[in-house]
């Protein structure tokens, strides 16, 4: 009789440390988490190489190494690091015979191409150009590369010429610059005259000195390849015979800020023949060229409406001999994300936003039939080789994990750990998708995330997150900038609405926001907020703050003057405060003019119809304004003006300013400051 209570006490004591260790996810966890990317299969599909990014102990700088996993060993042999300690590498590619691994590294002081045995060994530098190699692709036989570099195009193939011009500019005493056309600046960079340009170079024999010369193949085209600021090596591709390269390039002259007309250009790999525009008939965006194995068909993605960056990307097939173009799966109302051909050439693998997720699909080329292969979250970087499909997948509960599966998506197995497996002491908030009737009585979807410490019957304060884009989505995916788990980890519930304008619900749903920034999405947010409270009794509607960035920041400013009643506080990051000035000061002018139906001088009524600056007199709720100096998409003056307005009105407000950040906050210590400031603001106004 005396032994049982003692045993119970010991069991209770043993359980206490585990319970005490359970905590919510926070920004420190987020910036320290290892990140996995670039799944790359050997040609036979038997080996997988991927990149692992690790943050240093001071949380100031990250480095990336490559790891190899032999897939034939199942789970017996864990991945092994194959690049040396202290190196920082990216963009792995197997040689056609699978024996050599190529990658980029700045180990020499500039980013160059390196090669090493695929099983591991000492890397050898194979290029030593006067400029950085920004991206590359191996030729079909593996003896050459096509690569991109930022150069002065009048230098032609002379890479050293660009370096000499940059060195001379640094020595110039005068700092002023004269411009006679746009872009003057783009995203976060001032225009210095360089363009991303494609070159072809032969690779040296094993043990030979690095190659220093290359032939320019796109220098005569006044456009960037890849495009700025986010283009990559999916913008260009070799033909199977190695005689040409096809690249997606926008050639618009001084009309570039108004143009979304990217065309596919056929470039002579020897640099002799003049470039040929293959898609001159389409005045909208053509992207992502991929050849069939026999070279007879060129597959690519295309939009149809010029001047609209969020149009649907359809899957296209061009007969190379005749130039005739047909659309594959033209009735599939989703926007294709990439093109990966199956080994038999009969199907395209592509990912797309779909109902609050980003699954991987198989599209049959002959019939256009679409099959979802991998869902449950957000899938990216698909790679196919032999019997193996590799991809990344993330969710609201985890950053990217790397998976391998059969080519039909069956029997997936994780190669890298989830966030939960990496942070065993952390408890993540559970989430659920819900729906309601929004604008025009149409179905709208959203997500609710429970706080990490959720208990049945309790009510929790709410972070109401509003996504940017506006053609975007806050769905079942992971973000290192706006992550709902960082709020759930503070004990808040999270509500996110995919209002009209969001992607993944059909193109008509996406189109509905253009010229309607302030009415249809606001109606969805209002009805979604009401529906969420009705469906989830744990949401405390009396303790809620609304937060958003970019378009979400616009909406936060709009809410401040048009729907401030439910909120105890607001957080606005890089939002549009004065829509009229946005039309004059943003860099990609096609965006503002499409969304407002014209220019600010030709259609001023549309710019003013939903302009937050016109409703400042009705601001009442405390607002935290955040903006980065290097944000050229929505310039910093927008945030300063909003803070000035709040201060002038006597509205409780703060301004968090980053002199070294663009439209995003990317530096780890700045991310910590951002989250600490936002969390303190929420705690002040809606408590723990």
The residues that bridge with 340 in the sheet, in sequence order, are 349
Q: Is residue 578 part of a domain?
A: yes
Taking alpha carbons only, the member of 88, 118, 120 closest to residue 104 is 88
Q: Is residue 69 part of a domain?
A: no
Spatial distance between the Cα atoms of 465 and 460, rounded to a whole number of angstroms? 15
pLDDT at 76: 65
Q: Is residue 25 part of a domain?
A: no
pLDDT reading at 175 higher than 60 = yes
* pLDDT-derived band at 6, boundaries 50, 70, 90: very low
* pLDDT-derived band at 1, boundaries 50, 70, 90: very low
Q: Is residue 668 part of a domain?
A: yes
pLDDT reading at 13 higher than 90 = no
Q: Is residue 55 part of a domain?
A: no
The residues that bridge with 459 in the sheet, in sequence order, are none
pLDDT reading at 415 higher than 90 = yes
pLDDT at 77: 76
Render 200-231 in DSSP notation, one character per residue. Answer: EEEPPPTTSPPB---EESSTTSSS-SSPTTT-
Angle, helix 520-535 to helix 551-562, in steps of 10 degrees:
80
* pLDDT-derived band at 73, boundaries 50, 70, 90: confident
Q: Which of 18-32, 148-162, 664-678 has the lowest mean pLDDT?
A: 18-32
Spatial distance between the Cα atoms of 643 and 627, rounded to a whole number of angstroms? 10
pLDDT at 74: 67
Q: Is residue 443 part of a domain?
A: yes
Instruction: Please state the rounded mean pLDDT for residues 396-408.
Output: 98
Q: Is residue 405 part of a domain?
A: no
pLDDT reading at 17 higher than 70 = no
pLDDT at 8: 33
* pLDDT-derived band at 119, boundaries 50, 70, 90: confident
Domain count of the fold of the chain: 1
Q: Which two three-digit tokens encode residue 487?
A: 């709020």
- DSSP-derived secondary structure letter, 296: S
* pTM score of the predicted model: 0.95
pLDDT at 50: 98
Spatial distance between the Cα atoms of 127 and 138, rounded to a whole number of angstroms? 13
Bridge-based pairing of strands 623-628 and 569-573 is parallel
pLDDT at 72: 87
The counts of H helices and E strands in the chain are: 13, 40
Spatial distance between the Cα atoms of 124 and 128, rounded to a whole number of angstroms? 11
Spatial distance between the Cα atoms of 511 and 506, rounded to a whole number of angstroms? 9
Instruction: Please state the rounded mean pLDDT for residues 560-582.
Output: 98
pLDDT at 11: 35
Which tens digit of pLDDT belongs to each residue from 521-542? 999 999 999 999 999 999 999 9
Q: How high does pLDDT run on average in the chain?
A: 95
Residues ≥6 apart with Cβ < 8 Å to 108: 125, 128
Residue 642: domain span: 429-686
pLDDT at 416: 97
pLDDT at 688: 81
pLDDT at 3: 29
The CATH number assigned to the domain holding 661 equals 3.40.50.1820
Instruction: Please state the rounded mean pLDDT for residues 196-203.
Output: 98
Q: Is residue 438 part of a domain?
A: yes
Rounded to a whole number of angstroms, the distance between the first and last alpha carbons of the chain is: 44
Q: Which of 6-15, 334-343, 505-514 has the lowest mean pLDDT?
A: 6-15
Sign of the C-alpha dihedral computed for residues 141, 144, 149 and 153 taken in this order: negative
pLDDT reading at 9 higher than 70 = no
Rounded (to 5) percent helix, strand, coil in the chain: 25, 30, 45
Which tens digit of pLDDT belongs to each residue from 611-660? 999 999 999 999 999 999 999 999 999 999 999 999 999 999 999 999 99
pLDDT reading at 16 higher than 50 = no
């Amino acid at each position: 009789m005396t032994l049982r209570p003692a045993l119970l006490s010991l069991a209770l004591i043993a359980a206490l440390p585990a319970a005490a260790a359970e905590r919510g996810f926070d920004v420190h966890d987020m910036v320290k988490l290892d990140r996995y990317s670039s799944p790359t299969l050997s040609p036979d599909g038997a080996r997988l190489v991927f990149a692992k990014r690790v943050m240093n102990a001071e949380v100031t700088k990250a480095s990336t190494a490559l790891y190899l996993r032999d897939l034939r060993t199942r789970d017996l042999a864990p991945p092994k690091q194959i690049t040396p300690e202290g190196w920082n590498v990216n963009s792995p590619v197997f040689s056609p015979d699978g024996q050599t691994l190529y990658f980029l590294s700045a180990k020499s002081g500039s980013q160059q191409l390196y090669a090493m045995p695929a099983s591991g060994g000492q890397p050898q530098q194979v290029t030593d150009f006067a400029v950085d190699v920004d991206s590359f692709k191996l030729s079909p036989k593996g003896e050459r590369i096509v690569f991109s570099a930022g150069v002065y195009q009048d230098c032609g193939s002379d890479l050293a010429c660009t370096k000499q011009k940059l060195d001379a500019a640094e020595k110039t005493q005068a700092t002023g610059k004269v411009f006679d056309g746009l872009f003057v600046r783009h995203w976060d960079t001032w225009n210095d005259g360089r363009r991303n340009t494609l070159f072809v170079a032969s690779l040296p024999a094993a043990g030979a000195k690095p190659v220093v010369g290359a032939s320019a193949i796109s220098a005569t085209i006044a456009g960037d390849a890849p495009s700025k600021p986010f283009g990559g090596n999916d913008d260009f591709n070799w033909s199977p015979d190695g005689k040409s390269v096809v690249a997606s390039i926008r050639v618009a002259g001084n009309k570039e800020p108004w143009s979304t007309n990217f065309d596919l250009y056929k470039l002579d790999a020897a640099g002799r023949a003049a470039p040929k525009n293959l898609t001159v008939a389409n005045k909208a965006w053509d992207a992502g060229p991929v050849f069939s194995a026999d070279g007879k068909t060129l597959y690519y993605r295309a939009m149809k409406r010029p001047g609209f960056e969020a149009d649907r990307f359809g899957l296209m097939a061009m007969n190379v001999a005749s130039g005739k173009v047909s659309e594959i799966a033209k009735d599939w109302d989703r926007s294709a994300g990439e093109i990966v051909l199956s080994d038999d050439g009969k199907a395209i693998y592509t990912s797309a936003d779909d109902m609050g997720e980003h699954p991987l699909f198989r599209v049959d080329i002959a019939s256009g039939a679409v099959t979802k292969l991998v869902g449950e979250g957000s899938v990216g970087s698909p790679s196919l080789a032999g019997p193996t499909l590799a991809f990344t997948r993330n969710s609201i509960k985890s950053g990217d994990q790397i998976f391998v599966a059969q080519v039909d998506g069956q029997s997936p197995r994780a190669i890298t750990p989830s966030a939960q497996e990496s942070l065993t002491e952390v408890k993540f908030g559970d989430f659920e998708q819900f729906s309601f009737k929004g604008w025009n009585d149409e179905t709208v979807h959203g997500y609710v995330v429970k706080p990490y410490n959720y208990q049945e019957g309790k009510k929790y304060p709410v972070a109401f997150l509003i996504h940017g884009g506006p053609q975007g989505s806050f769905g079942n995916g992971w973000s290192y900038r706006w992550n709902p788990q960082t709020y759930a980890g503070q004990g808040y519930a999270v509500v996110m609405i995919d209002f009209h304008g969001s992607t993944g619900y059909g193109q008509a749903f996406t189109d509905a926001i253009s010229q309607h920034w302030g009415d249809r999405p606001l109606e969805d947010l209002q009805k979604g907020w009401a529906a969420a409270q009705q469906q989830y009794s744990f949401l405390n509607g009396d303790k809620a703050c609304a937060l958003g960035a970019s378009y979400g920041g616009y909406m936060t400013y709009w809410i401040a003057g048009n729907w401030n009643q439910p909120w105890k506080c607001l957080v606005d990051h890089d939002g549009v405060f004065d829509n009229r000035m946005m039309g004059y000061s943003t860099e990609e002018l096609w965006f503002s003019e499409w969304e407002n139906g014209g220019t600010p001088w030709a259609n001023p009524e549309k710019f003013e119809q939903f302009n937050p600056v016109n409703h400042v007199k009705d601001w009442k709720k405390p607002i935290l304004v955040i903006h980065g100096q290097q944000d050229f998409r929505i310039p910093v003056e927008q945030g300063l003006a909003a803070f000035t307005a709040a201060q002038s009105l006597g509205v409780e407000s703060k301004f968090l300013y980053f002199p070294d950040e663009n439209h995003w906050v990317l530096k780890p210590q700045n991310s910590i400051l951002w989250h600490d400031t936002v969390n303190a603001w929420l705690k002040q106004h809606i408590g723990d």
